[in-house]
Amino acid sequence: MEILEDTPGKQILLLGNEAITRGALEAGIDVATTYPGTPSSEIADTFSLIARSFTKQKKDPGYYFEYSTNEKVALEVAAAASITGLRALTCMKHVGLNVASDAFMTYCYVGCKGGHIIVSADDPTCHSSQNEQDNRYYAIFGSAPMLEPSTPEEAKEMTRIGFDISEEVKLPLLLRTTTRLNHIRGPIELKKLQKPRRKGQFKKDPMLVTVPAIARLQHPILLKKMEQAEKISEKSQFNKIINIGKPDGWGIVTSGVAYNYVRELVDDMRLDVKILKLGMTHPIPRKMCEDFIKSCKNIVVVEELEPILENQFKTIAYDLGSNVNIYGKSTCHFSRLYEFNIDIVADAFSKIFKVKNPISNPKESKIELPSRPPALCPGCPHRATYYAVKKAAPKTTIYPTDIGCYTLGKAPPYEVADLLLCMGSNAGTACGLAVATDEKIVSFMGDSTFFHAGIPPIIDAVHHNHDVVICVLDNRTTAMTGHQPHPGTDFDGMGRAAKRIFVEDVVKGCGVEHIEMVDPNNIKETTEAFKRALEFQGPSVVVSISPCILLENRDKRKRGEEIFVYEIDQEKCKKCKTCVERFACPAIYHGEDDMILIDGQQCNGCGNCATICPFEAISSKEAKK
Amino acid sequence: MKNKTNIVLTGVGGQGVITAANILGKAAVKAKLNVYVSEVHGMAQRGGSVNCSVRIGNVSGPLVANGTADAIISTEPIEALRYVQFSNKNTKIITDITPVIPFTVSSGGEEYPDINLVFKELSNYGKLYKIDAVKIARDAGALITKNIVMLGALSAIDVLPFKSEILLDTILENIPPKFKEINKKAFEDGLKAIKI
């Protein structure tokens, strides 16, 4: 594996996320934990890939890695390891830190011993998320030092050096990334791999037990640590001033991915400015910022999402009594919405610096193009479950949903996604809807989501006897984020055998009295099961078990089995369009002369279209090539 | 040599667009050039529209700006048209000629435009090269090498700041040995298919 090469000085191309993993290996990582979530997943998946390859050879990768039950557990596992002196890394998507925030806030009081990096992968523009919250606020909220990389190379170096900073101030460090860092590839220079420490030592200490009396002592200690962190920030190699041309009082303050656009445009637009590039953005180097403000008449702050640096610069300018002009979000030159790109920054610069915008106006095709939204894959078992529930449930049924591939059930013709907040919210909101309305409620969550945050609301439904149907779509994996294992699989992230926990056992243990176990590919029985669950007064759970078709077909290919694709017999087809319009598999389409056809390239051979065809016109013939 | 090369690769999820972009990035590193490759993951993947930016040389921003692409390489005709905002009059556009019909057309009531109109419209945005990459890939031995055919075609239009041999070597280094011959043929036939 190229990422494991111990050849210092060599340049290789890595994804931003892979670069973070490499940085951790160069810092001698001992324990890495996560709950998968785009755009963070490849950091952990790389740890997993390496660990699995070692396990396969009956060797030890030198570190422990796990896909934890959820982000809070992931943080707690790694925090404890760090408290014993080991180096730890926990990665998650931005909203994952909301889940882990309870642990995070008090962990900052307790502090760490071995370096601990918490990677937050924020998602401006919500490419694959339910919101675009700016997690830099968490560094301020909890008082944790923070680094913000601009490039994969910087991500690797900040991870490597971040462990030292974390150890020096005895605080977890937030490595705040955004999609456009996580998912860009760039050259990185390899440094030497470090050997891990292997075993920690837990020293009993009353200061680790945050009862009120201790918490009151820990809070001022935390503030002292942050003063120390500010001194590190003043000297940090990641905070630097770059002079371009003859600046004449113009300065730009920027961080993260936004820096890349600034750097390129300053050249392209021939701007004479000094750039304060902040890599350690909490605590900001106050003295350095004061000097920068004093040397400028005008400052432009370029940062994605919230005006966090902008507001801090305004505060410092006020304290200094400076009348420097600060341009940014408050002057409406930049938006608090969505990720930036060269075009957005060029437009703002042309207005602020009063120079010509080098970027031309976008052209658009005059031909209207059909959209290509993401859809449930051909053969996805969720489609069969949705088809069955629509047959069983009254039209007015409300369908709270959750985070996973199955959210795509929002699209017609299924329209089985009516309310979504966060991981696990399906069942909690189902309870609320049952209290507030007289409608039938059927909620959906995946198997990984069930273990993550789905169990407490089921307990709520049982304890208060809410009349809800909660459906667990158990496709035996965490499909959406790239097929990671979870507590319901019989192997773990290091490729070792693991105890499988059964959804139905947990549900039974929670006291649910009406449980239906179905294979959604048996659409008739699944429909009947939903009917019984809907008739039952009180909470019922339907566990719909069928593996993700992509996994199943991958395993079939590995075993040398053929996948048989389906065809429509045009003689038998009566053009009722049940398959193409009500079942709506993307492999089925309207061909010429009003024929309904199946695209053999796309068909994954589930055969459910054959089941729902009222005229038995669909059958399998050829093996897929 | 230009100090910046901007390439946009587009297509449909599953056609190997991200893999092709990744290989281009590795080839640039092999040629000792700076490079950024930007890609889309997650929800946009399955059957969705995919676009990747590859920027080589003296670049910092990871995304190609509007009107600055040197080449747009598309594995599907309307996906080339979807991203013409990146084109200027000097942009070279290579597209495969085979449409992939989205489900919004097959079952949702949207329409796939007349393919000849698509090509005519595309030629308004740059120098258009059409290529039957599906046929070339099948003839080479596997449809899955279609993305490699497109990389071969890209090597023929004088956009890359390194030799086509470097790209081919990079391709061959990144695939299992038993598929080397097929991929080599796909690349070379893709290269030959473009007449300048």
Distance CA A409, CA A384 (A): 11
For chain A, say whether B113 makes contact (Cβ under 8 Å): yes
Across A468-481, average pLDDT: 96
Length of chain B: 196
> Judged by CB atoms within 8 Å, which residues 154-183 of B form the interface with A?
none
Instruction: Indicate the pLDDT class of residue B43, thresholds 50, 70 and 90.
Output: low
Residue ranges of alpha helices (H) inside A440-522 are: 447-449, 455-463, 503-509
CB-nearest partner of B35 from A186, A372, A377: A186
pLDDT over threshold 90, residue A357: yes
Same domain, A218 and A248: no
With respect to residue A222, please indicate whether it lies within any of the assigned structural domains.
Answer: yes
Same domain, A401 and A468: yes
Last residue in a domain, options A554, A580, A610:
A554
For chain B, say whether A343 makes contact (Cβ under 8 Å): yes
With respect to residue A125, please indicate whether it lies within any of the assigned structural domains.
Answer: yes
pLDDT over threshold 90, residue B39: no
CB-nearest partner of A366 from B36, B79, B121: B121
Instruction: Indicate the pLDDT class of residue B45, thresholds 50, 70 and 90.
Output: low
Across A451-473, average pLDDT: 98
For position A94, which CATH number holds?
Answer: 3.40.50.970
Cα distances (Å, whole numbers) of residue A184 to A272, B25, B41, B111, B189: 29, 10, 11, 34, 30
Q: What is the pLDDT of residue A576?
A: 95
Chain B hits for A1, Cβ within 8 Å: none
Encoded tokens for A277: 């590039």
Same domain, A180 and A148: yes
Which residue would you say has higher pLDDT here, A364 or A328? Answer: A328
With respect to residue A485, please indicate whether it lies within any of the assigned structural domains.
Answer: yes
Encoded tokens for A138: 């968490």
Q: For chain A, what is the domain count?
A: 4
pTM, to two decimals: 0.97
Across A160-177, average pLDDT: 98
Last residue in a domain, options A198, A214, A235:
A235
A204 phi and psi, to 5 degrees? -65, 135
Strands (E) in B106-179, as ranges, are 127-131
Distance CA A588, CA A581 (A): 9
Distance CA A168, CA A353 (A): 42
Same domain, A340 and A396: no
Same domain, A291 and A273: yes
With respect to residue A364, please indicate whether it lies within any of the assigned structural domains.
Answer: no
Distance CA B39, CA B62 (A): 10
Contact A56, A222 (CB under 8 A): no
Contact A146, A136 (CB under 8 A): yes
Q: What are the residues whose beta carbons fall under 8 Å from the beta carbon of A527, sequence distance 6 or more?
A: A388, A389, A391, A392
Q: What is the pLDDT of residue A373?
A: 85
Distance CA A353, CA B96 (A): 43
With respect to residue A183, please indicate whether it lies within any of the assigned structural domains.
Answer: yes
Q: Determine whether the interchain pair B85/A580 forms a contact, defined as Cβ–Cβ distance below 8 Å.
A: no
Q: What is the separation of C-alpha A183 from the centre of its chain, rounded to a whole number of angstroms?
A: 12
Q: What is the pLDDT of residue A135?
A: 98
Last residue in a domain, options A331, A352, A373:
A352
Same domain, A471 and A568: no
Across A239-252, average pLDDT: 96
| Enclosing H/E stretch for A274 | strand A273-278
ipTM above 0.90, yes or no: yes
Cα distances (Å, whole numbers) of residue A372 to A213, A579, B50, B111: 58, 20, 10, 12
- Closest by CA position to B62, among listed A556, A16, A319: A16
Same domain, A318 and A461: no
Q: What is the separation of C-alpha A308 from the centre of its chain, rounded to a whole number of angstroms?
A: 22
Q: What is the separation of C-alpha A16 from the centre of its chain, rounded to a whole number of angstroms?
A: 14
With respect to residue A172, please indicate whether it lies within any of the assigned structural domains.
Answer: yes
Summarised one tens digit per residue, pLDDT across range B76-134 is 999 999 999 999 999 999 999 999 888 888 777 899 999 999 999 999 999 999 999 99
For position A566, which CATH number holds?
Answer: 3.30.70.20
Exposure b/e, A505-531, CB count within 10 A at least 16 = b? ebbeebebebbbebebbbbeebbbbbb
| Enclosing H/E stretch for A174 | strand A173-178
Same domain, A289 and A217: no
> Which amino acid, one-letter code, is at A353?
F
Same domain, A402 and A546: yes
Q: What is the pLDDT of residue A602?
A: 85
Q: What share of chain B is helix, strand, coil (3-state, %, to 5)?
A: 45, 20, 40
Q: Determine whether the interchain pair B60/A261 forms a contact, defined as Cβ–Cβ distance below 8 Å.
A: yes
Same domain, A223 and A258: no
Distance CA A229, CA A233 (A): 6
With respect to residue A366, please indicate whether it lies within any of the assigned structural domains.
Answer: no
> Which amino acid, one-letter code, is at A34?
T
Summarised one tens digit per residue, pLDDT across range A536-579 is 999 999 999 999 999 999 999 899 999 999 999 999 999 999 99
What domains, with CATH codes, occur in chain B?
4-193 (3.40.920.10)
For chain B, say whether A183 makes contact (Cβ under 8 Å): yes
Q: Determine whether the interchain pair B44/A374 forms a contact, defined as Cβ–Cβ distance below 8 Å.
A: yes
For position A318, which CATH number holds?
Answer: 3.40.50.920
Same domain, A513 and A578: no
Instruction: Indicate the pLDDT class of residue A594, thresholds 50, 70 and 90.
Output: confident
Collapse the DSSP code of A89 into the 3-class scheme (helix H, G, I; strand E, B; otherwise coil) and give the result: strand
| Residue to test with chain B: of A7, A122, A177, A184, most B Cβ within 10 A | A184
Same domain, A20 and A133: yes
Domain that holds residue A588: 562-623
> Judged by CB atoms within 8 Å, which residues 374-393 of A form the interface with B?
374-375, 377
With respect to residue A492, please indicate whether it lies within any of the assigned structural domains.
Answer: yes
Q: Determine whether the interchain pair B106/A590 forms a contact, defined as Cβ–Cβ distance below 8 Å.
A: yes
Nearest-by-CA chain B residue for A596 = B106
Cα distances (Å, whole numbers) of residue A598 to A590, A594, A620, B11, B39: 9, 13, 11, 21, 30
Distance CA A427, CA A469 (A): 9
Summarised one tens digit per residue, pLDDT across range B119-167 is 999 999 999 999 999 999 999 999 899 999 999 999 999 999 999 999 9
- Closest by CA position to A542, among listed A450, A477, A453, A460: A450
